[in-house]
Structure 1
Amino acid sequence: MPIAPPSVKPLGTKYRPKPSSTARGYGHEHRKQRSRILDEQPLCQVCRNAFSTDLHHVDLNPHNHADGNVLAVCETCHHSVLHRR
């Protein structure tokens, strides 16, 4: 029985390549919106203490680019407060 090269995962493993950033909702439109909103909201809308670095989608749908669906937040609030990671 031939042995698969190390870069190929054996059948039955749960490996799936990550979709592109555009396919996940973070393409050109998102980058333009992020730049504009972070300029308008330089401080985190949750803690008001740190600079905004991320956009949080309120409805958790990254394909919804409505301005009312996003918050400008710092990385700490985005992960620990809003996503509880």
Structure 2
Amino acid sequence: MAPDDPSKSIGIDMLPPEINADTPVSGNMAGKMEIMGLPLRDAREIFEREYLMTQVTRFGGNISKTAKFIGMERSALHRKLKSLGMRNEEKQ
């Protein structure tokens, strides 16, 4: 993309789905405010569950790739998912 050529600018339709989400910003803010009113343990559990669900989905259910991306051992990620009550079926 050349800075002096406006016809080569990036459009919203060119963004990846995780950035170009249909979720309104106000909805995200409401969720963040709800978490702020919880004890740390509860807030952390909600965050971890949502974060891990997003990452596992991002890698198509592949636990090995997810673990590598988030910086955990695969076995530790399996234990974490189990402790959070999340099913994990690794896709080969």
- If the length of structure 1 is used for normalisation, what is the TM-score? 0.31
Please identify which structure carries the higher helix content: 2
- If the length of structure 2 is used for normalisation, what is the TM-score? 0.30
Of structures 1 and 2, the one with the larger relative CO (CA 8 A, separation 6+) is 1
Please identify which structure carries the higher strand content: 1
